[in-house]
Structure 1
Amino acid sequence: MLDNIVIVMVNTTHSGNIGAAARAMKNMGLSQLVLVDPKAAIDEEAIQRSSRAEDILHQARIVASLEEAIADCGLVVGTSARSRYIPWPLMNPRECAAKAAMASANGNKIALVFGRESSGLTNDELHLCHAHVHIPTVEDFSSLNVAQAIQVMCYEMRLAAISEPALQQEESAWGVEWDYELANHEQLNGMLHHLEQTMVDIGFLDPNTPKQTMSRLRRLFQRAGVDKMEVNILRGIFSAVQRQQKVQGVQQDAVKTGDSD
């Protein structure tokens, strides 16, 4: 299970936090670290703070965007300390670990996403996540250092991994063995962009005033946990709708041309 978990840090500004995160990961048996457009380098301070976990730092992947970091992940969970305007599925760390164990048992990679030291994750970044996780600190002193938050989450992942053999003896969430893996972020994102364009083509969605339509549809599909075959079926339907729309457009143009003659 732990080999399937990726720790993603977004726009980290202090190299010491990167090193401390690597130490927290190695303590609990995690090894995959992805840095999204980091504002701090992996320098001597990071190496010292890692306390002999520099192998994780040297192997860390640096990418330009969160979407690139999570492209191959079937479950993406973002840490959030704030309530959002659009409600999103919310878990505590232990519930998140149980969900991660189930996803891993079904062959999926899991991304745990941590935001900026000063402001966390943006709404747009949180909308890319299937669910949010909130660490239940006391209300009057709720701020956690990002490396501390990573330590808490890695600890819960390790607890779930220790219990994983018992979990694997249970049937999947739907009571049967599922036939296809969950769609990863790249596949789901492609389907959502296809849906958006289809809705624009048929006049359902005004691209100039989309409001929250796509955010709510993203929430729907991420909450449903669609698999790869289901994504392919939906995209086939969207393509058929687009073809029919083009045919109707050609026919309408032909009628207008005939009328003008």
Structure 2
Amino acid sequence: MNKPEVPDFFKNVRVVLARPSHPGNIGSAARAMKTMGLTRLYLVEPREFPSPEADTLASGAVDVLQRAQVVATLGEALDGVTLAAALTSRRRELTAPLSTPREAVPELIMRARSGEEVALVFGNETFGLSIEEVEQCNRLVTVAGNPDYFSLNLAMAVQVMSYELFSQGGIGVGHLKAEAQLATHQEVEGLCGHLDQTMERIGYYRGRNGERLIRRMRTLFHRASVQREEVDILRGFFKQVLRTADRDEDKPA
């Protein structure tokens, strides 16, 4: 199966990091983004950028860092955006409805597919997004977690949201599955004949209804949709069993 392409509408999704403190988190966030097909990164007043540490933790996603837009305000980062989702884990006195990533993503995808610019907005590692920053967004999203201990790193939050977008973006995992050839009817019949010969040769049918047994085995193999490789393995095994039986018979008593 051919490798699928990342949907074009992903180009309408930008990730905004507001006032990130640690360059390593910027690099890790870039890696999380690219893994899920997102490439547009906006940085609002990063404390340190560019940075060798960011490049190191970005691994193969340094190109995302190289194309990152560095701006002075969140307003600049949201220029042209019609739907901005603020990621927060704190209780806020806001009237905007609160959604999980899974609940929020369908609308984000629908708007991006239609050609609109959408943004995922993440706050500072220590303080998160300010009330003023959240008020510039029109959706509020939180990642559900353990109420007794919830400590999600900035890059982890980017990964969770990016994964949810990717998983609902219509890209399956079929290209990762090994392509297997199913055995034909004739090949399965040949396998059953070989099995019948082997069981007869080693005396398995002695005291048993051989015709009934091989009929049950034939039904089993046809129902199982066995692969050609599996047929070859089993027939190789039967061949070895028959060789061993012949050698044992030839041994002097």
Under TM normalisation by the shorter chain, which class is it? 0.5 to 0.7
1:175 match: none
Root-mean-square deviation (CA, aligned residues, Å) is 1.3
- For 2:157 and 2:50, the matched residues in 1 are separated by 20
Q: Sequence identity, in percent?
A: 39
The partner residue of 1:152 within 152, 160, 164 is 160
> What is the one-letter code of the residue matched to 1:111?
A
Q: What code does the residue aligned with 1:125 have? A: E
Give yes or no for contact 1:10–1:113 (8 Å, CA) kept in 2.
yes
Post-superposition CA distance 1:131-167 (Å, at most 9, x none): 1100001111112100000000000110121269xxx
Q: Give the AA of the match of 1:51.
A: S
Give 1:137's aligned amino acid: G
For 1:133, the equivalent position in structure 2 comes to 141
Aligned to 1:226: none
**1:78 partner SS:** strand
Which of 61, 68, 72 is the equivalent residue of 1:64?
A: 72
Cα 1:143–1:110, aligned 2, differ >3 Å: closer, same or farther? same
Q: Please point out which of 13, 18, 23 is paired with 1:10.
A: 18
Q: Which 5+ residue runs of structure 1 have no aligned equivalent?
A: 165-261
Give how far 1:40 is off.
1.7
Match of 2:58 in 1: 50
Q: Which runs of structure 2 are paired with 1:239-254 in the superposition (5 Å)?
A: none
CA distance in 2, matches of 1:41, 1:115: 16
Residue number among 33, 36, 44 corresponding to 1:36 in the alignment: 44
Task: Tell me the equivalent position of 2:117.
Answer: 109
Please give the alpha-carbon distance, in whole angstroms, between the structure 2 residues aligned to 1:111 and 1:11. Answer: 16
Normalised to the residue count of structure 2, the TM-score between the two structures is: 0.63
Aligned with 1:144: secondary structure? coil
1:89 to 87, 97, 106: 97
Greater radius of gyration (CA)? 2
Match among 102, 106, 123 for residue 98 of structure 1: 106
In the TM superposition, what is the alpha-carbon distance from 1:102 to its structure 2 partner? 1.1
TM-score (normalizing by structure 1): 0.61
* Displacement over 3 Å in runs of 4+: none
Unaligned runs of 5+ in 2: 1-8, 173-253
Count of residues paired in the alignment: 164
Q: Partners in 1 of 2:19 and 2:61 — Cα distance? A: 21
| Structure 2 CA distance for aligned equivalents of residues 22 and 78 of structure 1 | 18
